[in-house]
Amino acid sequence: MKKLNSLLKDVDYKKIYGDENCPVSSLSINLNETKDKSLFFIIKGQNFDGMNLFKDAYSKGAKAFISDRIFEHPDDITLVIVDNVRESLYKISRNFFDNPSKDLNVFGITGSSGKTSVIYLLRNIFPDSASIGSEGIYFLNEKVFEPESVLTTPESHIINYYLKESLKKSIKNFFIEVSSFAVKGKRVYGIDFKGGIFLNFSITHHLKIHKNINDYLESKLKLKELVNGPFLINRDDPYSDFFKKDSSNYYFSYKNRADFYVENYSKSDDIYNFKINLLGKEYRVDLEEKNDIYSILPAISLSYLFNLDIEEVIKKIKNIYKKPEGRWVILNNDPLIVVDKANTPLSIEFIIDKIGDIKLKRKIVLFSFFEEEDIRETLLITKLLIRNFDYIFVSSDDSKEKTPFECNKNFIYFLKKFNVKYFFVEDRKECIKRAIEFTKKGDGLFILGRGNEKNLRTKKGLISFNDVEVTKEILDGLNNTKLIKETI
């Protein structure tokens, strides 16, 4: 329990109504978090207004409120008026949990694609590590929290809570998957980042919320400003030049000379032999999959900058490396049936590159756009799919307001325009079933976009739905072939 006035350090408030010494037991932004003596933040978003929750929050015991608007309220609460509620949230969160990031090595990883893979590697490479990201929250490789929401990066009070909890476990290194929305919403502000990585930038569905590419890019560039330490930048990305140049920048490259780069690679006995150069020192890394280097090079580079034994790191990678959950999950061998989370142009390019090594009669893909679809991304992805697949199945994906057809109308328009063979089946489970029935021996079916995400947003609400489990269930029901676990 803390006093409200101690939490207002560095907060630019305009007026306090009520007792500024009132006790605060917890921080909350929704009713599920609210309890007796909670400090409730009245946040106004694009599709919601926390003001509508005031009465319920008060009835649940909240006695202090942060708001950017004055309103009639009971005499027994404390109301703090500020200009920016989200800015107050990150500052108060830091104060409430005693600024835990100052006692940790916190690293932020951002990019349009690949964050989850790099986070997984770093969490396993660095000793005494924890992580926050789309796969959940891990302490010492044990999952301690399974996110119910679709937020890659939680709100600032949640982050600070787990940073503080990690100190109790003697954790030293903490990796945060930093989404563009997290930066835009100031969720990672006030955290003492000791290092960071920029992986890549591409046009994605996030533009629907960011409104324009400059705002989206700015959210990626901002992470560097929040980092007090070395910042790794992908030299191959055309947007890397937008980062402010200073002595804390280090560059990695898969194609050209840089601080950390791939000198060359060869293939023998189905193993890719990479020679990498880390600030002038050469190392060899052997990989089963060529594209794994896109995750491994930045992970090894950060390890080098923080003085880890690179030979030991390479040994660890051989023992620990696996695909993140929901990536390239093979559920059937012939016909080949794969589920993968790829839903951006860059991640789909990786899938296409991988498929290129597999001999298939027909290539069939199931892909759908969700509510935040941006027409520029739609065109990019459509071109990739029609050039590399023979048939396309279209169905539903996350959407609160639109129907599956409304989410995919631009996609379907382009498919018709380019005279592509496609099938639209609104119900996702039925669509997967029909796609499986359509796939014959020697073919390959690739169910993309969701991986092992556990819930699907619909106009009727959140429903339990997992592409991997649904596909397994359908295959078991059809009994058309034996499931295998091994990879190709």
Is residue 484 in some structural domain?
no
Grade residue 149 by pLDDT with cuts at 50, 70 and 90. Answer: low
pTM, two decimal places: 0.79
Same domain, residue pair 15 and 75 = yes
Residue where one domain finishes, among candidates 59, 80, 96: 96
Please answer whether residues 73 and 64 qualify as being in contact, where contact means their C-beta atoms are separated by less than 8 angstroms: no
- Both 243 and 306 in one domain: the answer is yes
Is residue 448 in a domain?
yes
Q: Looking up tokens 């476990």, which residue turns up?
A: 169
| pLDDT per position as a tens digit, 212-239 | 677 778 888 999 999 999 999 999 999 9
Residue 483 has pLDDT above 50, yes or no: no
Q: What is the average per-residue pLDDT within 364-391?
A: 89
Same domain, 287 and 188: yes
Percentage of the chain modeled with pLDDT above 90: 73
Residue 282 three-state SS: strand
Q: Which pLDDT belongs to residue 373? A: 66
Helix or strand holding residue 217 (H, E):
helix 213-226
Q: So what's the pLDDT on residue 323?
A: 62
Q: Are residues 134 and 187 both part of a single domain? A: yes
- Alpha-carbon Rg for the chain, nearest whole angstrom, is 24
Residue 483 belongs to some domain of the structure: no
Looking at the fold, whether 111 and 72 belong to one and the same domain comes out as no
Q: Are residues 270 and 347 in the same domain?
A: no
485 lies in some domain: no
Can you give the pLDDT at residue 302?
A: 98
**Alpha-helix runs per DSSP H in 185-258:** 207-210, 213-226
- Between CA 300 and CA 314 the distance in angstroms is 8
CATH code of the domain containing 139: 3.40.1190.10
Residues 6+ apart with CB under 8 A from 26: 33, 35, 37, 38, 39
For 237-280, strand residue ranges (E) read 249-253, 260-268, 271-278
Identify whether residues 414 and 466 lie together within a single domain: yes
Q: How many domains does the chain have?
A: 3
Q: Which of 77, 96, 115 is the last residue of a domain?
A: 96
Residue 111 lies in a domain: yes
Has residue 486 been placed in a domain? no
Residues 203 and 71 in one domain: no
pLDDT digits (tens, 9 = 90+) for 393-423: 999 998 888 899 999 999 999 999 999 999 9
Query: Which domain CATH number covers 396?
Result: 3.90.190.20
How far apart are the C-alpha atoms of 16 and 64, rounded to whole Å?
Answer: 10
Q: What is the pLDDT of residue 375?
A: 80
Query: Last residue of a domain, which of 295, 320, 345?
Result: 320
Note whether residue 194 is domain-resident. Answer: yes
Same domain, 188 and 269: yes
- 3-state class (DSSP) for residue 118: helix
CA atoms within 13 A on the CB side of 78: 20
Verify that 78 and 184 share a domain, yes or no: no
Judged on CB neighbours under 10 Å (0-12, 13-18, 19+), 20 is: middle
392, 444: one domain: yes
Residue from 463, 482, 462, 464 nearest 472 by CA: 482
Same domain, yes or no, for 128 and 273?
yes
Residue 262 lies in a domain: yes
Question: What are the tokens at 479?
Answer: 């009994």
> Alpha-carbon distance 41 to 26, whole Å?
11
Is the pLDDT at 104 greater than 50? The verdict is yes
pLDDT of amino acid 252: 98
Structure tokens at 129: 């590590």
Q: Residue 482: its pLDDT value, please?
A: 43
- Residue 204's pLDDT is 57
> In what helix (H) or strand (E) does residue 284 lie, and over which residues does it extend?
strand 281-287
For residues 392 and 386, give the distance between their C-alpha atoms in angstroms, rounded to a whole number.
8
Mean pLDDT for 375-393 is 93
**Cα angle value 319/322/327 (rounded, 5°):** 175
pLDDT higher for 323 or 188? 188
**What's the domain range around 372?**
329-478
**pLDDT tens, residue by residue, 318-370:** 887 556 667 889 999 999 999 999 998 888 998 999 898 899 999 999 999 98
